[in-house]
Amino acid sequence: MNILLWHVHGSWTTAFVQGPHTYLVPVLPGRGPDGRGRAQTFSWPDSVREVTPDQLRAEQVDLVLLQRPEEFALAERWLGGRRPGRDVPAVFLEHNAPDGDVPDTLHPCADRDDLTLVHVTHFNRLFWDNGRTRTEVIEHGIVDPGHLYTGRLPRAAVVVNEPVRRGRYTGTDLLPALAEAAPLDVFGMRTEGLAAHLGLPEERCRAQDLPQRDLHAAMAERRVYVHPVRWTSLGLSLLEAMHLGMPVVALATTEAVEAVPVGAGTLSTRPEVLARAARHYLDEPEAAAEDGARARQAALERYGLKRFLDDWERVMTEVRS
């Protein structure tokens, strides 16, 4: 198939484009949100083609994968009047947990009969009000980075984008107490100035933004992965840490309670329990390695790439039939 999709979520798209199709990714001058084109920091295969709006008008498109409400109008305009869901088969992929009026949040695609709404977690489907729209859950898949864990640095890795702006959503307010138990290395976009924002010494909360090709190796050198997120969808960084062989310490919120089995780390809604667990792994490197190995096995079994691609193949075939 020729599948049209926008470059919205680089990590998710990296897994999706490992399938057997041709992936048409819009590109615009300046590479803004509506036309980022191919990823610059992720490794994508040659089957991902950049296309301009003018080129799309002449392209055969077998399926449109929408990820933002505004893409309905963009797709119709750039496809020369072909309407997603009516003239071209369409799937709407919802990456996020609902925001506002939870649990009565009405999804923008609620009560539509012309597309399938796909959620990335069962928690998200449960908490969105999807109306009568056909829904599916296709859980994340990860391109396996390998068992890279060494844990040689007695520090905790945290991966979060824009922690200052997103605040309580990403558990940024919990970092000072966690930093008392284990020095933190916070990786992600727009993390600069985080220690000063939290009133922490730089050594207790170092921040840096690494390209994907360097991030996994850096994470795997840290003793433990800490996931203080209160309210977002299931973070791919958590699943990547598990694939790396890292033990994980995470808030027991949203889908994390499904993703992290017993023996792979610690889940709790009590920050003080998470702090003690992080300290335990710093003091007991053998226990950290053992729990990390179990985390990796669990992630491979549930979030492996083949299962992910097979699930998508099934749904896309059904939508086109």
- pLDDT digits 0-9 by tens, 143-168: 999 999 999 999 999 999 999 999 99
**Strand ranges inside the chain, DSSP E:** 2-5, 22-26, 48-51, 63-66, 90-94, 116-119, 134-137, 153-159, 184-187, 205-208, 222-227, 248-251, 265-268
Question: Tell me, what's the pLDDT at 156?
Answer: 98
Pick from 16-20, 37-41, 48-52, 283-287: least confident = 37-41
pLDDT at 246: 98
Residue 236 has pLDDT above 90, yes or no: yes
Angle 124-4-106 (CA atoms, 0-180°, nearest 5)? 30
**pLDDT number for residue 41:** 85
| pLDDT for 229 | 96
SS3 of 126, please? helix
- Beta carbons within 10 angstroms of residue 318's beta carbon: 13
Are residues 115 and 133 in contact, defined by beta-carbon separation less than 8 angstroms?
A: yes
Q: Measured between alpha carbons, how far is 303 from 59 in angstroms, rounded to an integer?
A: 33
Under the banding of pLDDT at 50, 70 and 90, the label for residue 211 is confident
Which residues in 71-106 are b (16+ Cβ under 10 Å) and which e?
bbebbbebbeebebbeebbbbbbbbebbeeeeeeee
pLDDT at residue 212, rounded to an integer? 81
Q: What percent of the chain has pLDDT over 90?
A: 97
Q: Of 13-22, 39-48, 172-181, which range is least confident?
A: 39-48
Given a cut of 90, whether residue 15 has pLDDT beyond it is yes
Quick one: average pLDDT of 86-99?
97
Q: What is the pLDDT of residue 213?
A: 80
Q: Supply the mean pLDDT for the chain.
A: 96
The predicted structure's pLDDT at residue 223: 98
pLDDT of 141 reads 97
Predicted confidence at residue 197, as pLDDT, reads 96
Residue 215 pLDDT: 95
- The pTM of the full predicted model, rounded to 2 decimals, is 0.94
